Amino acid sequence: MTPEPPVAELIDLAATPTAVIRDVVAVSELAPFFDRAFASLAAVTSAQDVAITGPAFARYHGAPGDTADLEVGFPTARPIAPAGEVVAGELPGGRAARLVHLGGYDQLAVSWGRLADWIGEQGLEPTASFWEVYVTEPSPDMDPHDLRTELVWPVAG
């Protein structure tokens, strides 16, 4: 029996400082970009003694097509000083719709579609920027069905 898909919910977010790398990346090159970016981010936050306070995320500035305009990063205890590609950022506070995606990244688009539909059904207006929080850190030997990703989409209305 297939479990029922998770239900979306409205949440209130506090603004959160972040350490990020932003770029426009070909969708086919996202995995290498993520790997390189997360390694750089970890090195810079460690060198500056800035605590990472939560899981990695990717914040998209508009819907991806052949390319994605995004920033990847970590929430931090305080803003970092710029170092190379790594800059201080912020995940915005306010009202957002959230849905937890269970399973592999190859099915994220389906969950994003469900969240977009749910937002519309609530009479809310999604913003142009949205993000994924990678609650479960992937590893080469794990079962993709064990991955948990929070989809967060700020809303107005």
Cβ distance 112 to 126 under 8 Å? no
Q: Hey, is 134 helix, strand or coil?
A: strand
Q: For residue 151, what pLDDT is reported?
A: 97
Q: For residue 146, what pLDDT is reported?
A: 83
Cβ distance 21 to 44 under 8 Å? no
Side-chain-side CA neighbours of residue 80 (13 Å): 30
Q: In the structure, what pLDDT confidence band is assigned to residue 2 with cuts at 50, 70 and 90?
A: very low
Q: Domains in the chain, please, with CATH?
A: 9-156 (3.20.80.10)
Q: In the structure, what pLDDT confidence band is assigned to residue 5 with cuts at 50, 70 and 90?
A: low
Distance CA 139, CA 153 (A): 26
Distance CA 55, CA 39 (A): 14
- Percent of the chain past pLDDT 90, that is, above it, reads 85
Distance CA 150, CA 99 (A): 6
Dihedral (CA of 110, 19, 62, 24) sign:
negative
- Cα–Cα distances (Å) from 14 to 53, 94, 154, in that order, read 14, 7, 12
Dihedral (CA of 99, 59, 70, 46) sign:
negative
- Report CA 84 to chain centroid distance, whole Å: 22
Question: 1 versus 109: which is more confidently predicted?
Answer: 109
Q: Which amino acid is at 104?
A: G
Q: In the structure, what pLDDT confidence band is assigned to residue 1 with cuts at 50, 70 and 90?
A: very low
Q: What is the mean pLDDT of the chain?
A: 93
Beta bridge partners of residue 69, listed in sequence order: 24
